[in-house]
Chain A
Amino acid sequence: MIRLREPPPILEDLETLQRDTVGYFLRAANPGNGLIADSSRQGSPCSIAATGLGLAAYVVGAERGFLPRREAAARTLTALRFFRDSPQSEDPDATGHRGFYYHFLDMQTGRRMWQSELSTIDTAILIAGVLTSGMYFSAAADDEPEIRELAGFLYERIDWPWAAAGGLLVRMGWKPEAGFQSYGWEGYSEALLLYILGLGSPTHPLPAESYAAWTATYQWENLYDIEFLFASPLFMHQLSHVWIDFRGIQDAFMREKRSDYFENSRQATAVQQQYAMRNPLRFKGYGEYCWGVTAGLGPGFSQQRLEGGIERQFYGYVARGVPFGPDDGTLAPWAALASLPFAPEPVLAALRHFREAYPASLSKEGLLTSFNPSFDPGDGTDPGWVSPEHLGVDQGPVVLMIENHHTGLLWHLMRECPAIVTGLRRAGFRHGWLGSSSR
């Protein structure tokens, strides 16, 4: 039984935001198979990462009373049964292969879309959501035992060592037409979650050397007098933390640096704020309370000459980052919010600012929305560009990080999850809530 501390009174508007964002996932799901759309765009395919985040959002929704627990369980079970029953093979239109899944699936048939890759990171995010469901739905009645059984089955089916293609670093993807992508995960990123899940598998675990090989690609930087493990887009410092409570636990790298990954994300958030205050590319709006540069949608690929004759490149979907870009003036309030547990005061101050200075950053459905005040759409609209759509991978952390900040629900659930605990220990994490065993 998970014991949670008594939830403190939370800001009413944060609860509203959380409720509205859970609502997004309820609308984005296909009730027939449980798949969740990549984006709110009409005809969007399913993203398996959005589905994983959605499954965790159901857990929060049930816990918060945004939807009945029985409904959350039923929705979850539909999705888990789909993944159990959908085709796993080398066929180019399968749903997955070796326990992994294609990045994008047809919302109706669940088959591979857009010739997308069998994605290791997106599978990790999906399976983290699946395992969350397995931990939360712990009752003996209704759908809940089957959820637990399927969560174990889906996790244990993943052949993690296969995805390292004979090496140590896990590859980013595989395609039936072209085999493995030639590059593996290198440099600190959200792949922390992937490696821990891969190490924790009771059936097909990654070797411990994989983790050492990955952390050998880390870069510890002193930037703006802030010391941190470098990753450029903000989301890379957030996604693993949606599931895992990194407060006070350390692997060999963090022991060497006398830090931990949670503290590191706090520093990364400070770097984002510092970057916006310095605003080297002189974009509109950037400042102490206006920051949040990460991967996401943007105004589209074009060049404009801004004030002072400066030519700036704008992008569509791209992994924006600081301090060396790409940065086109697009801000992601949802990414700022996802740093709430790490740096509550700056995040809440930024949210207030977004709401006051850029009301369009909160959509009429109550969702945080990317915007770009520097982009000139030519029709005098202010701010210049507001994202017309929402992505599941953007909205998931909004629900989950508000919850982690207030109750630590996800963290507490996953502290009890054998996959996570084993994975962390095999990665060399010790101390804090994990204890000092290095088994």
Chain B
Amino acid sequence: MNKTDSTDSRAALLPNDAYDSELLANTRPTDWTNPQPAPSYNLVVIGAGTAGLVAAAGAAALGAKVALVERNLLGGDCLNFGCVPSKALLRAARFHTDLRHAPRFAGSAPVPSEPDFAAAMERMRRLRAHISRNDSAQRFRAMGVDVFLGEAAFADRRTVEVGGASLRFQKAVIATGTHATRPAIEGLEAAGYLTNETVFNLTTRPRRLLVIGGGPLGCELSQAFARLGCEVIIANRERYFLPGEERDAAEILADALRRDGIEVRLNTEVVCVSHRDGEKHVRLVNDSQEATVVVDEILVGAGRVPNVEGLNLEAAGVEYDHEDGVRVNDYMQTRNRHIYAAGDVALERKYTHTADATARIVIQNALFWGRKKLSSLTIPWCTYTDPEIAHVGRYVKESRQRGFPLKTFTVPMSDVDRAVLDGEEEGFVKIHVRDGTDKILGATIVARHAGEMINEISLAMVAGIGLKTVSQVIHSYPTQAEAIRKAGDAYNRTRLSPLLKALSRRWLAWSR
């Protein structure tokens, strides 16, 4: 469920063309009638974003009587304002960059065509509408889920009310997600700005765009808009993009953004905004140096706030706060043992796949006395810039602070034949192992297809496969994922001690 303060996102979904109509028909059908509530539900799911949909579908498939409540669009952030539309745009942007690099591949002149921003946005809406079928209200009704459209609020510890109907539950799951932070910047509200909830409504290209925030959203969309022909400035409060990410990765990203013509302003605060003659004048401060930039649009990607208001969580005995969201234990259970939470509203790492994974935990723990833990999940994540930046497991600093001696096996993508042949040599695979062992503690991959490659490391970590075994897995040649096997080979070479080398040499000399 997506709360956008007082703004109803349905109204914000412009330009309301055939594709958006299809999207709405799937995710918020206007002719929808809420079903008659069952006397009691095994599971009431509040919020129909990724976590809610996975919980509802999974529980229904197992035979549970499930109610799913959504006050906005089914599909949540991921489908409507997040992963799906942004990746569609990034693909179009990547295509235009490849065209620009035509001379590298075919020796021909760069293709001069101006990116068609409107067409790229239309493609995005078309694909989003297509994918929205998976999340449609009708599909969930067909699964046997009672889909209620409307505002949900707890009446007591075992009842949710929606549109005058009372839903009694054995178990409930809060999966209401988050909404974009409103940054406290003087003049910003008056001047107007975009967030992830409104930026995909654009149909014409803003000539000049300021992006505030250097997290995944800010970086991805800066690059996409720059590649689609906007003059982009990105202002990030921190000295590096992607806070918490490895510094090498963040530096490669900053470089990549600069190459795309983006004006990168790190360690920069946005102080105030004024609106004059249809332009937005923005004052920036870096250390003590002030600068004013003039843009047509501002996109804010400066964090997320959990959707916890209006749910009457107090009546349900659910603890929460306005920054970190619903408080859960390692089993995703709130203070009310009948109520669980899943997805962004309860998570520090807010990703679609984590929402999915926590929803699966909730199904097992809430309905089948499971003891699945959040802390035992191995969670990868990826920022889909070009190159992509993917990570799984521990970071070096985190491990060292916990006293784990660590060694990192680094393979530059420029050492991988397929990356060279593809002209995609930027980046690296870094795999962190516990020093003296081949146990993989984490990895960071920066590569054009890092998001695909990281899954192999996640698999190895979940299955308890060490780097030695990774090197024994035959990787198709030539593939970019061979970088991972090369890290395994490097590990194996460290096992060849001088003594072993000497013995091997003597044996081979004797065998001649």
- Determine whether the beta carbon of A220 is less than 8 Å from that of B247: no
Query: Total interface residues on A, using CB and 8 Å?
Result: 39
Q: Smallest distance from the beta carbon of A189 to chain B beta carbons, Å? A: 11
A178 to B289, CA, bound (A): 9
**Interface: B182 (CB within 8 A):** no
Is the Cβ of B288 less than 8 Å from the Cβ of A222? no
Please name all residues of chain B whose beta carbon is closer than 8 Å to the beta carbon of A222 when the two chains form the complex.
407-410, 490-491, 494
Our pick among B104, B238, B252, B405 for the contact of A324 (Cβ within 8 Å) is B252
- Residue-wise, chain A 305-321 has the 8 Å CB interface mask toward B (1 for contact) of 10011110100000000
**Which residue, A215, A220, A222, A305, has most C-beta atoms of chain B within 10 A?**
A222
**A310-B104, A313-B255 known; A219 and B396 CB under 8 Å?**
yes
Decide yes or no whether B506 CB sits under 8 A from chain A: no
Given A181-B287, A309-B104, A220 contacting B406 (CB threshold 8 A): yes
Residues of chain A lying within 8 A (CB to CB) of residue B410: 221-223, 323
- Which residue on chain B has the smallest CB distance to residue A312? B259
Selected from A182, A232, A256, A310, the residue in CB contact (under 8 A) with B405 is A256
> CB-nearest residue of chain A relative to B413?
A280
- Looking at the complex, which one of A115, A217, A278 makes contact with B414 (CB distance below 8 Å)? A278
In the complex, the answer to whether B287 meets A280 with C-beta atoms within 8 Å is no
Contact-residue size bin, chain B (C-beta under 8 Å from the other chain): 35 or more
11 CB-based A-B contacts, threshold 8 Å: A220-B407, A220-B408, A222-B407, A223-B410, A278-B415, A280-B415, A281-B414, A313-B255, A324-B248, A324-B251, A325-B252
| A225 pairs with B405, CB closer than 8 A | no
Chain B residue, CB-CB nearest to A303: B259
Q: Are A216 and B408 in contact (CB under 8 A)?
A: no
A178–B268 CA distance with the chains assembled, in angstroms:
12
Asked if B401 lies at the interface with its beta carbon under 8 angstroms from chain A, I say yes
B112 within 8 A of A: no
Is A358's CB within 8 Å of the partner chain B?
A: no
Tell me how far the C-beta of A316 lies from the nearest C-beta in chain B, rounded to whole angstroms. 13
Shortest B42–chain A CB gap in Å is: 48
C-beta contact mask, A231-266 vs B, less than 8 Å → 1, else 0? 010000000000000000000000011000000000
Asked if B288 contacts A217 (CB within 8 A), the reply is no
Shortest C-beta distance, A99 to chain B (Å), equals 21
Residues of B within 8 A of A217 (CB): 397, 400
Given contacts A177-B287, A216-B397, A219-B408, 16 further A-B pairs with CB under 8 A are: A181-B287, A182-B239, A183-B267, A218-B400, A220-B407, A221-B409, A222-B407, A222-B410, A227-B494, A232-B248, A278-B415, A303-B259, A311-B101, A311-B259, A313-B258, A323-B410
**B103 contacts A305, CB within 8 Å?**
yes
A115, B251: Cβ atoms closer than 8 Å? no
Listed from nearest, the 9 A-B pairs whose CB atoms lie closest are: A280-B414, A309-B103, A177-B288, A309-B104, A223-B410, A178-B288, A221-B408, A216-B400, A222-B409
Q: Is B466 an interface residue (CB 8 A)?
A: no
CB distance from B465 to the nearest CB of A (A): 19
Specify which chain B residues have a CB less than 8 angstroms from the CB of A325 in the assembled complex: 251-252, 255
Given A183-B239, A278-B414, A313-B259: A115 touches B288 (CB 8 Å cut-off): yes
Task: Name the B residues within 8 Å of A216 (CB-CB).
Answer: 397, 400-401
Contact of A69 with B by CB under 8 A: no
The answer to whether B255 touches A187 (Cβ under 8 A) is no
**A-chain residues with CB within 8 Å of residue B427 when the two chains form the complex:** 324
The reply to whether the CB of B225 lies closer than 8 angstroms to some CB of chain A is no
Q: Does residue A117 face the partner (Cβ distance < 8 Å to B)?
A: yes
**B258 contact set on A, CB distance < 8 A:** 313
**In chain A, what residue has the closest Cβ to B420?**
A280
Q: Which residues of B contact A230 (CB under 8 A)?
A: 408
Q: How far is the CA of A262 from the CA of B118 in the complex (A)?
A: 58
Q: Which of A117, A278, A309, A311 has the most CB of B within 10 A?
A: A309
